[in-house]
Structure 1
Amino acid sequence: MRGRYRRWTALTVALAASGWLSTLTPATATTTAATALPKAGPNEALAVVSAPAANPAPPADQAAPADQAAPTDQAAPTDQAVPGTAAASGKVDCKKQKCIALTFDDGPMSSTSKLLKILAKRKVKATFFLIGQNVRAHPSLVRQELAAGHEIGNHSYTHADLARASASKVRSELSKTQSAIHKAAGITPVLMRPPGGATDSTVASITRKMKLAQILWAVDPKDWRDRNSKLVERRVVGGARRGYIILMHDIHPTTVAAVPNILKRLAAKGYVFVTVSQLFGHPLTPGKKYTKR
């Protein structure tokens, strides 16, 4: 008993010398020391354990408190609206907003790549009506259009006059283009545009069976005839109205050159640029013709 008391006294002196007991109140020092250390066996010397620091520093990679101010370079919410466009999330209500649909025919071609960059810069979504032959020649551009959030439609395989074609020719032109687009981008369009706007009851019947709505237009700036950027810009901006579908051709560099000013001027007038399907806000009826909302 006396030997155990001497060992306990020696331990207490050692702890006091190390400064650990000084952090405790007199009333609790003995109790804490006794409970913090294990009991020694009959023939064991009691080891002296180093006490932890009173206020340990948090790890360097510890997360900041929840109420700490966010970094100044924190990304904006994904649904934040961009002036002149639909919200970044793609949500838009054309019943309330001044919507307009820009459409581009006859691609994809090399000039389409430049147009995609222009549209991406302003976060504008458009609708592209593609020629099957050009899809097979430039499949990567079709994938770029789709990846950028644009809508893709069928514009026949060879830009044929469908109103003058036989029923079998119409089916071939449309089905081959559907197949080419699906092979290039993995989607099957639900919109088509007859080349030159040439359609008839036969085209209507076939597109109805193929589940393709016929998309025409309300404004034609005749960019296919007049290769003048300023003239195209003036005609598009002057003819634009809420709910209109605008026809243009991305195969003409003069048209592509006109697009930046068209976007700027229409946005200044309060227009929101949407795809054809967004413009109407509901599935379109196969075989039916549409020119505006």
Structure 2
Amino acid sequence: MSRQISSLLAIAAVCVTLAPAPAFAQAPKKAAPVDCEQVKCLALTFDDGPGKYAGTLLDTLKKYDAKATFFLEGQYVKSRPAFVKRMVAEGHEVGNHSYSHPDFTKSEPGTIRNEIKKTQDAVKKAAGVEPKLLRPPYGLADLQTADVATEFGMPMILWTAGSEDWASKNVDAIKKKTMEVAQPNGIILMHDWVKQTVDAMPALIKSLQKKGYHLVTVSDIVKGQNLQPGDIFPVPAGWEK
């Protein structure tokens, strides 16, 4: 072997020895699931969206590490798919709230099926997932609605209390009402098309977290309920299945 080749080999060996070990990117750690039997949980739910203020709302939820459930209307999923994709990417839950918000209790079964299916398809196209939960428009359901929900394998989700944001459209009133009705394992009705709701969220989330609430998805809240397709929760007074 020539002296020149020997020198080059020696230099190469030194370079290999001194080269830093390759850095392997670590996958981000997933947050541990919240056990709502052990800690105070609350689900904030937003109907009729995604509304035009959804991006600001998502920024706030991300800042305070809070999760929410969005019951979406297919017509707005179609016009604002980027918000839906972001909701899913950031760990929020998306549910089905019909395509155009008719009263299911005054609709034919075929209409109900079409409303649910079109929204399922729109969400799947926007975010690659299909909602697992149905919130009937106006929170109105009957046995016929339950039968159609069963066909889609979906339980129906109502709420334990509302923020009344659609009526007041006042930041202080929305915060006050939500704090009054908040309870462990509660499901709060809100709307992301109400600007005052989105404006209230930073202070509201901080107040709820200060009281020890973990803001989680509806599925976290109902995990122990063993809901079956067509079931409704919370069960309305007089509901018989």
Identify whether the pair has TM-score above 0.5, normalized to the shorter chain: yes
Q: 2:175 aligns with which of 219, 226, 233?
A: 233
Q: 1:248 aligns with which of 179, 190, 198?
A: 190
Q: Residue 285 of structure 1 aligns with which residue?
A: 228
Structure 1 unaligned segments of length 5 or more: list them.
1-48, 64-76, 80-87
Contact in 2 for aligned 1:94/1:280 (Cα 8 Å) = no
Q: Residue 113 of structure 1 aligns with which residue?
A: 55
Amino acid aligned to 1:214 = M
Cα deviation, 1:203-225, whole Å, max 9, x if unaligned, reads: 01110111111010011121111
Cα deviation, 1:175-220, whole Å, max 9, x if unaligned, reads: 1111111111111111010111111111011101111110100111
Alpha-carbon shift at residue 280 of structure 1 (Å) = 2.3
Tell me, in whole angstroms, the C-alpha distance in 1 between the residues paired with 2:217 and 2:66: 9
Alpha-carbon shift at residue 78 of structure 1 (Å) = 5.9
- Larger % of helix: which? 2
Alpha-carbon shift at residue 130 of structure 1 (Å) = 0.3
Contact in 2 for aligned 1:103/1:247 (Cα 8 Å) = yes
Q: Residue 123 of structure 2 aligns with which residue?
A: 181
Tell me, in whole angstroms, the C-alpha distance in 1 between the residues paired with 2:147 and 2:56: 37
Amino acid aligned to 2:136 = P
SS at match of 1:110: coil
Q: Residue 25 of structure 1 aligns with which residue?
A: none
Tell me, in whole angstroms, the C-alpha distance in 2 between the residues paired with 1:143 and 1:202: 31
Tell me, in whole angstroms, the C-alpha distance in 1 between the residues paired with 2:133 and 2:88: 14
Cα deviation, 1:105-144, whole Å, max 9, x if unaligned, reads: 1111220111000001011111000001001111111101
Contact in 2 for aligned 1:143/1:184 (Cα 8 Å) = yes
Tell me, in whole angstroms, the C-alpha distance in 2 between the residues paired with 1:178 and 1:59: 57
Contact in 2 for aligned 1:244/1:291 (Cα 8 Å) = no
Amino acid aligned to 1:111 = Y
Q: Residue 135 of structure 2 aligns with which residue?
A: 193
Percent of aligned positions that are identical: 40
Tell me, in whole angstroms, the C-alpha distance in 2 between the residues paired with 1:280 and 1:204: 18
Runs of 4+ off more than 2 Å: 58-63, 280-284
Change (3 A) 1:90 1:149: farther
Q: Residue 272 of structure 1 aligns with which residue?
A: 214
More contact order relative to length (CA 8 Å, sep ≥ 6):
2
Amino acid aligned to 1:286 = P
Alpha-carbon shift at residue 60 of structure 1 (Å) = 5.1
Summarize the alignment of residues 1-12 of structure 1 with structure 2, pairs less than 5 Å apart.
none
Q: Residue 202 of structure 1 aligns with which residue?
A: 144
Cα deviation, 1:50-78, whole Å, max 9, x if unaligned, reads: 9x9xxx9x965446xxxxxxxxxxxxx96
Q: Residue 161 of structure 2 aligns with which residue?
A: 219
SS at match of 1:230: helix
Amino acid aligned to 1:188 = E
Tell me, in whole angstroms, the C-alpha distance in 1 between the residues paired with 2:84 and 2:136: 19
TM-score (norm 2): 0.85
Tell me, in whole angstroms, the C-alpha distance in 1 between the residues paired with 2:53 and 2:92: 16
Structure 2 unaligned segments of length 5 or more: list them.
1-5, 22-26, 236-241
